[in-house]
Structure formats: C-alpha cells, structure tokens
Amino acid sequence: MQIKRLKIINFRNYVKNVVDFDSNINIFLGHNAQGKTNLLEAIYYLSGGKSNRTFKDQELIRWDQTFFNISADLNTINGNYNLMIMNSYEGRKKIKINGLEQKKIPEDFKTVIFSPDDLTLIKGSPSGRRDFLDREISQISSVYSKNLSDYYKILRQRNKVLKLDMNWNKKEENLSLWDEQLIHKGSLLLKKRLEMVHQISILSRLIYRRLTNNRENIKLDYSSSLDLQDISNIEEIKFFFSQQLKKLRNEELRSRFTLIGPHRDDLNIFIDQKSAKNYASQGQQRTCILALKLSILEIVKGNCGEYPVLLLDDVFSELDDSRKSFLVQEIKKGIQTFITGTMNEQRLKNVNIPVKLFRINQGDIKV
C-alpha cells in the first residue's frame, strides 16, 4: 500500500500543504519543532482515525482554527481511491472516500510507526502494552476490534453492578448475566492475543538476533490475570475464566471492581532471560521495540497481502551503523517508508539508499 499524494489543512502547525511522495523512501529533514513528527501523525491518523500522541482530536486542530482536514490519494490492494477525514472542534468527524461520505474508515490502509516515545512500550504501564497488542491485532482483524469494543462496554456495565448497593440475590442475578457476556467476549480477545504474541515472539526473536549480530535473544510472554499458562483452546479459556470469576466473587464484591480479564493483562518482554523493563539499557530497549515493529510489518503482510506504510520518527539518530544497515535492508523490500530526522545530507549518503528528500520549516514542506 502507498500514499501518492497528501493534503493537510489546519493540522497541528500546518496551514495548508499538498505533497507528492515517492513509492519507496521519503525523508523529511528539519530542525526540531518544525512539523516533522506532526506529518507522520497525520498519516497515522488516516489509517485509523486516531492519533498516536493524544486522545483528544481537538489538540490536532491548528491554533485559532475550528477544524482540520487530512486527505490522501491511496494505492492499496483493493485499488486506488482518495480518503479524506475532517474533524471539527465540536468533535464532528467526517470520513469520505472519493468524495462520498462513509460511516467508517476503510480497513485496507495500514501503518506501523516507530518513534522515540515508543520506549514507554517497555518502560511504561501494562495499559500501553495492551494498547499495542490491541492496535496491531485490530489492523488485521475487524472482528477483534468489534469484540474489544463490546468487551469494554460489558466491563463498564459489570463494574456498575458491582458498585451498586442492592439485595445480595438481586446483585448475584445481575452479575451472572454480565459474567456470561464478559467470559464470551473476553475469551475471544485472549485467544487472539495469545496467537498474536506467539507470532510476534517468533518473528521478533529472529529480527532481534540479526540486529544484534546473534549476541542477544528476545522473548515475549503474555501475562494473563487468569494465569492461563499453556491454555489456548477457546473452550478451555472460557471454562477457566468462569472458574476464576467464581473464586473471586467475594473479593470483587468488596473491591467493587472486575479483578480479572484481558483488561488486567500484560506483555512481558525479556532480553537474555532478564526483564527488558528492569535490566535492559536504553539502546537494548530501542532495538527491542524496533524488532517488535518490524515483526508487525511481516504479520500485516502475511494477513493482508501487502506491507503497511512504515513511519520512522527520528530513527537513524537512535541507531548505530550496523542497526541502520539492517533497517535499510528491511525497507528495501518495497515498503513505502517515511523517515524524519535532523541529519544533514552527508549522513543521508552514508545510509546508501535512493530517497526523495523533503525539507520542513515551520509547517511548510518543500522538495
């Protein structure tokens, strides 16, 4: 999949820009705070209707403006079309394909992003790692995305019941109804997450070893609040989920909160059998994240038939020469890639790849 042309209006520090891209490597240079990261954010937003940097769409609107508009001419496995997303300060989002209004964003345009902020994937809270899994699985499975939304709606309702002061029998009756739905949707999420972690683990281990010249190993472990261990069969997961809820009933009634389920899980990452969060250097952590993101590229390709667009924010400044060389070989596969940096043109020559070079200055993009 490729972006042929992008148009941005009132997005972050951009007033209005129209830019045509190369089908392979596009590099954007500029000083800090000129709009390089904002450009990648705009592309990322087109692929899912969400920012990778904020939960509030209003923050994406240029200062003193009331809306932003992002549109792109896309080339995907399903054909060529123009995708436009507009959002107002009041939160009214419009999605159009070839000028015709749509209810949702098409599923065939996908991105994978790597940025310095991704260190939080290792150093941050479990919620960030759950979000990482959910985002990447949703890219290849709209069913998973729907189940995820349903699960959190059920979870909110179940927690409301736990917080209510009512007759014991009445509360038990209400909880039993929500338990059934929570177990069903939660088990579907767990099965898919376990499958995804297995795939990422195999691919990222191979990529990480190549990035480190076979000096180090990476391992992923899905840490379930259900303590599933080797259970992956959907019926077994449902049975185990049900049994655990029953055991925790009194504790949940005291805490007034659902204590187990996919919303309480984590992804553990190990380098040479040691916790990456607690023992890895910053360089090891960045290499680890890069291996995870490159593994996602291959998983999306395997499931969707083409590579997603790759977004690399200031990545070359964070890597040594051997890791740069490996990354260059990866993106030579025909993956349309967008790279930002403050490097000069001499450093670009050292990368040894044909590129289309852009300069960004105060929200203005020039070739």
- Domain map (residue ranges) of the chain: 2-110+308-366, 121-278
Please count the other Cβ atoms lying within 10 Å of the Cβ belonging to residue 149: 12
CA distances 8 to 11, 19, 69, 70, 348, Å, are 6, 9, 6, 5, 26
pLDDT of amino acid 143? 96
Q: What is the token pair recorded at 235?
A: 């019926």
State which amino acid sits at residue 178: W
- Would you say residue 347 has pLDDT above 70? no
Pairing label, strands 2-11, 67-76: antiparallel
Q: Over range 177-202, report the average pLDDT.
A: 96
The CATH number of the structural domain formed by 2-110+308-366 is 3.40.50.300
Spatial separation of the C-alpha atoms in residues 29 and 314, rounded to whole Å: 9
β-bridge mates for residue 93, sequence order: 87
Contact assessment for residue 26 and residue 356, using Cβ atoms and an 8 Å cutoff: yes
pLDDT at residue number 133? 97
- Euclidean distance between CA atoms 367 and 358, whole angstroms: 4
pLDDT at 188: 97
Q: In sequence order, which ranges of the chain are alpha helices (DSSP H)?
A: 36-46, 120-123, 126-140, 142-163, 168-211, 234-247, 249-255, 276-279, 282-304, 321-331, 345-351
- Confidence label for 345 from pLDDT (cuts 50, 70 and 90): low
Minimum mean pLDDT range among 3-12, 153-162, 215-224, 350-359:
350-359
- Say what the alpha-carbon torsion angle 352, 300, 298, 39 is, to the nearest 10 degrees: 20
What is the distance between the alpha carbons of residues 196 and 265, in angstroms, rounded to a whole number? 14
Q: Residue 350 has what pLDDT?
A: 59
CA distances from 233 to 36, 141, 190, 192, 238 (A): 45, 19, 10, 11, 9
Q: CA-based angle 76:81:82, to the nearest 5?
A: 120
**End-to-end alpha carbon distance in the chain:** 22
Contact 13, 363 (CB under 8 A): yes
**Least trusted range by pLDDT, from 17-31, 212-226, 337-351:** 337-351
In the block, tokens 């019926």 appear at 235
Give CA separation, 324 vs 30, 38, 229, 304, in Å: 20, 23, 37, 27
pLDDT at 182 over 90: yes
Average pLDDT over the chain, rounded to whole? 92
Torsion of the alpha carbons at 76, 142, 290 and 32, rounded to the nearest 10 = 70
User: How many CA within 13 A on the CB side of residue 38?
Assistant: 26
- Taking only the tens place, the pLDDT of each residue in 271-330 is 999 999 999 998 899 999 999 999 999 999 999 999 999 999 988 777 777 888 888 888
pLDDT in tens, 232-268: 789 999 999 999 999 999 999 999 999 999 999 999 9
The residue assigned the tokens 């992923």 is 220
User: Which CATH superfamily is 121-278 part of?
Assistant: RecF/RecN/SMC, N-terminal domain (1.20.1050.90)
pLDDT tens digits, 109-133? 999 999 888 999 999 999 999 999 9
The span from the CA of 223 to the CA of 359, in Å, is 44
Determine if the pTM surpasses 0.85.
Answer: yes
